[in-house]
Amino acid sequence: MLSLLLFVSIASAAFKPLGTRNVIVQMFEWPWDSIAGEWPAGYGFVQTSTPHEHIQGTQWWTDYQVVSYNITSKRGSREQFANMVSTCKEAGVGIIIDAITNHMTGEGSGSGIGGSSYSKYNYPLYGPSNFHYCDGGKAADITDYSNRTNAQFCEESGLADLAQEQTYVRDSIAAYLKDLQSLGVAGFRVDSSVQQPASNLTDILSQLDEDYWATFEVETGAPDAVKQDEYWNIGATMAFGATGQLLSNFETGIANLVTPNPLSETWGEPVFPPSKNANLFVTNHDKERYGGSINRTSPNNAYVLAHIFILGWNWGVPEVFSAYNFTDEAAGQPQNEQGLTNAVVCGQDGWTCEHRYPAIANMVGFHNAVSDGELANVQVGTPQQVAFGRGDTGFLAINNDGETWSNTFQTSLPQGSYCDVIHYNYGSCNGTEVEVGGDGQATFNVSAFNAVAFYKK
């Protein structure tokens, strides 16, 4: 009995898949006080920007140059961060943070946002011996992702690459993540994961005090040495393959996403992960700047329709992106003269608040209601028109065509009157009201570049 108790006491932390209320909203660059005051309805989790101390500067990418693991950033202090986590937790919303564990800063020296002194390879926790020098004792950038050593022991864009094979480095990173867990953080989006051996991340995450959820940034293709499935024992991976397929199929025909082979891991592992390991997203802060995704400026309402699709779909953990306007791809968030982030007022000062768009916000409710309901009653009009049910609970029709789609649709819902949640707002059914007959059939119109969705409450 004593040996059993000892074993239980030292058991490692493990990846814990999210439950059915699992929609994440990435509130990119939002300050802690504004997130604490938002409590986005129906969303299960908020993915925040980085909480650690970083270099100073107006650009968004200054967040990704780490000075120390002190919880202080342009978004607020440790106290403000802790208050945000606890406030959201009380509202039933978990916090997932963007964790930068691969590297520190690039060239240059100075003081971080919290006052810590640094220069490249010299930081409060690390010195020159804690980094990789992959070119005969000199640092060099990654040049070949088909070479595992080059991808994981050279520098990403000149950023000091941590030598995670050293116990001290892994333990220091683990201590940072444990500190965040002690404040109530539920999970981590691990940046630049492809540059970090899965074995190192396994050791780091096993040291945590509680089970966790994690998603790893592993954007790889056929020639690349590192594969997404190397990380599935310890978390999900960002489904970049699906993001690309959303972009291409919204151009050529969205019905291909549903039939004959529904978008899922059957499209080809490891690029398309198993559902519990698939972090499904339309765009993120990188893709909206550098291409490869549908984004807020895409024509024909594609941004909203793509979010409607992933929130109605039965594969993966869906994530909604919410950020701010920019014209310069390096431009940081709305900020004051000291570089500290301005409070969010949706629709003002550049804040766009896409997670509040009624169609997107209401589809979060649809997603939560249909839960793990099976795909049912798939129907196709033109290649750009597709409808499907989710078990006997919900039904969704998307029209990505320029003409109205008029049809009698077969559903599995009970007879009754249902409100179209795509056009539902502020407590009243001010959109289409759908009548489902005793045979499960419903006749309605879906206007051009629009959708209709309804579910059993």
| Contact in structure between 51 and 79 (CB atoms under 8 Å) | no
| Contact in structure between 97 and 28 (CB atoms under 8 Å) | no
Assigned token pair, 165: 């094979």
Distances (CA, A) of 149 to 25, 135, 153, 230, 330: 34, 11, 6, 15, 30
Q: Alpha-carbon distance 452 to 424, whole Å?
A: 10
| Contact in structure between 30 and 344 (CB atoms under 8 Å) | yes
Active site residue ranges? 191, 217
211: helix, coil or strand? coil
Task: Locate the DSSP E strands across 28-126.
Answer: 45-48, 52-54, 66-71, 94-99, 109-111, 117-119
| Contact in structure between 386 and 379 (CB atoms under 8 Å) | yes
Q: How many CB atoms lie within 10 A of CB 200?
A: 20
Q: Where are the alpha helices (DSSP H) in 10-112?
A: 32-36, 78-90
